[in-house]
């Protein structure tokens, strides 16, 4: 009896299934090192703010008395706010304010809701100013939250400030310097050199801003206007100065562990991750994982305090060789939190330490910078601490 089945074909298919199942089982039992990052320095604190359209009465939303902010839920209800995206610290701040302080729901625009809520929609900060101007006509968007220089620039263009992020959480962490974990382990030399140059630049920027006057200051503002404006002429020079004053530039890691724990607990409270993910990966909990992320070794190696305040060690003090290295650095679009990176490049600080900074990006959101780091596309990235934290946790899954 002859079967009409194509037996050869079926034999091949069956063999393929068996082989694939076998290799899969073998691979599944193999331990693989998961991609992660290390946080080696802070970039800034604060430097974001919530704004509303000029025709909205801010007193309906908040009243501020001697630094104490009182929120009025009725004013917030059904409003539509722009956010740089759910992975950003700005989004987390707005969500936390709406849910905890105002006491309303926080829903994605377009999704039907019954409980009194505030709506959010994702808009790139660079486009927020235009959207605000447009919304005067169509009354679609009421306000938003953005990082600097956009917050200052949007307020300068006729919107009203509700609160700055520091009024919600003083000295809240923002951007950090993150390094791909594998790169960190194998290219310590490069990380050290990069960090030394970065710290030198950050201290210099801090000094200039403290003076707030003079050629160096104006020169820095020139750079801010260039970096902060997606298009030439769209960033108001005075707004740039306000933006710089709203932001605290620092590299120090002190307290970051506690602050990130607070961020992580907020995320956990919002249901964005569970302890299980951490314990499954062998961590005791949030604190333990954050201590694993933050590596203060390189920073303590490159910073010295000889009486007149901390400073970056010179190349000679670090006894660096004459070699020079290329480092791929991911950064965010039009984000003046990261101005020290651009200032250091402009002033040649990185070259002094034998580092050629190859800028990767600009990326639109911190999540994308993390994507570049975790995929080893970039070696080092300047990124908001919430996406750094959340994506690191998610990379464990």
Partner 1 sequence: MSGKTIIEMLNYDKNDKRHRFARRAIIAAASLVVFVLLWWNLSLLLANPAIPTPQKTWSALTYLFAHGDSVSGVTMWSHISISLRRFVYGLLLAMAVAVPLGLFLGYSETLREFTMPTLEILRPIAPIAWAPIFIFTTGYVWGPILVVFVGIFFPMLTNTMFGVKKIDPNWIDAAKTMGATRVQVFTKVMFPAAVPYVMNGLRVGMGIGWMCIVASELYASFGGGIGFFVSIMAQMGYWDYVFAGIAVIAVLGLLTITVSDYVHKFIVRRMGME
Between 211 and 375, whose beta carbon lies closer to partner 1?
Answer: 375
| 123 scored as a contact of partner 1 (CB under 8 A) | yes
| 395 scored as a contact of partner 1 (CB under 8 A) | yes
Q: Pattern of binders to partner 1 over 262-291, x per CB under 8 A?
A: --------xxx-------------------
Residues 6+ apart with CB under 8 A from 64: 70, 163, 167
Which sign, positive or negative, has the C-alpha torsion 341, 346, 349, 355?
positive
Among 8, 66, 138, 215, binds partner 1 (CB under 8 A): 138
Which of 325, 323, 388, 332 has its CA nearest to residue 363? 332
| 5 scored as a contact of partner 1 (CB under 8 A) | yes
Which of 44, 47, 42, 45 has its CA nearest to residue 148? 47
Between 270 and 318, whose beta carbon lies closer to partner 1?
Answer: 270
Among 69, 73, 122, 315, binds partner 1 (CB under 8 A): 122
Between 66 and 112, whose beta carbon lies closer to partner 1?
Answer: 112
| 75 scored as a contact of partner 1 (CB under 8 A) | no
Q: Which of residues 338-367 bind partner 1 (CB under 8 A)?
A: 365-367
Between 67 and 112, whose beta carbon lies closer to partner 1?
Answer: 112
Among 47, 49, 85, 298, binds partner 1 (CB under 8 A): 85
Q: How far apart are CA 311 and CA 303, in angstroms?
A: 6
Which of 1, 8, 342, 298 has its CA nearest to residue 175? 342
Number of other residues whose CB lies within 10 A of the CB of residue 97: 25
Say whether the peptide bond before residue 27 is cis (omega within 30 degrees of 0). Answer: no
Beta strands 355-363 and 325-332, pairing class: parallel
In this structure, are residues 84 and 365 in contact, taking their beta carbons and an 8 Å threshold?
yes
| 157 scored as a contact of partner 1 (CB under 8 A) | no
Among 130, 216, 218, 258, binds partner 1 (CB under 8 A): 130
What are the backbone angles phi and psi of residue 110, rounded to the nearest 5°? 100, -20
Q: How far apart are CA 392 and CA 397, in angstroms?
A: 9
Which of 252, 178, 181, 244 has its CA nearest to residue 213? 244
Minimum gap (Å) between residue 110 Cβ and partner 1: 2
Minimum gap (Å) between residue 1 Cβ and partner 1: 6
Question: Applying CB under 8 A, which residues contact partner 1?
Answer: 1, 3-5, 10, 13, 16-17, 20-21, 23-24, 27-28, 30, 32-35, 85-87, 105-112, 121-124, 127, 130, 134, 138, 140, 270-272, 365-368, 370-371, 374-375, 387, 390-391, 393-395, 397
């Amino acid at each position: 009896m002859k079967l009409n089945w194509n037996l050869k074909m079926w034999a091949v298919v069956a063999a393929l299934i068996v082989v694939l199942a076998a290799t899969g089982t073998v691979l599944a039992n193999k331990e693989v090192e998961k991609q992660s990052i290390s946080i080696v320095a802070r970039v800034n604190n604060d430097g974001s703010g919530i704004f509303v359209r000029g025709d909205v009465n801010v007193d309906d939303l908040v009243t501020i008395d001697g630094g104490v902010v009182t929120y009025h839920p009725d004013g917030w209800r059904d409003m539509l706010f722009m956010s740089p995206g759910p992975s950003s610290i700005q989004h987390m701040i707005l969500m936390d304010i709406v849910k905890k302080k105002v006491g309303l729901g926080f829903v994605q625009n377009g999704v039907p809701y019954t409980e009194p809520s505030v709506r959010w929609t994702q808009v790139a900060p660079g486009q927020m100013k235009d959207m605000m101007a447009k919304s005067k006509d169509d009354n679609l968007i009421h306000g938003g939250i953005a990082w600097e220089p956009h917050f200052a620039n949007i307020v300068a263009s006729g919107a009203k400030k509700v609160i700055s992020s520091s009024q919600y959480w003083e000295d809240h962490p923002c951007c950090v310097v993150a390094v791909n974990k594998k790169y960190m382990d194998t290219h310590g030399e490069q990380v050290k050199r990069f960090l030394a140059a970065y710290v030198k630049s950050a201290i210099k920027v801090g000094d200039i801003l403290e003076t707030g006057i003079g050629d160096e200051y104006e020169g820095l503002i020139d750079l801010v206007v260039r970096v902060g404006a997606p298009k030439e002429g769209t960033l108001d020079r005075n707004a740039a100065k306000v933006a710089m004053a709203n932001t605290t530039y620092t590299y120090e890691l002190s307290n970051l562990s506690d602050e990130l724990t607070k961020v992580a607990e907020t995320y956990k409270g919002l249901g964005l991750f569970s302890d299980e993910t951490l314990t499954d990966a062998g961590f005791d909990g949030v604190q333990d994982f954050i201590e694993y992320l933050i590596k203060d070794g390189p920073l303590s190696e490159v910073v010295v305090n000889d009486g007149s305040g901390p400073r970056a060690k010179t190349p000679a003090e670090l006894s660096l060789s004459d070699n020079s290295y290329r480092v791929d650095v991911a950064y965010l679009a039009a984000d003046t939190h990261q101005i020290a990176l651009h200032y250091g490049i402009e002033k040649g600080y990185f070259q002094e330490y034998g580092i050629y900074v190859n800028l990767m990006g600009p990326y639109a959101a911190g999540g994308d910078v993390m994507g570049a780091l975790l995929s080893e596309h970039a070696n080092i990235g300047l990124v908001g601490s919430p996406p750094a934290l959340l994506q690191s946790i998610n990379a464990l899954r």
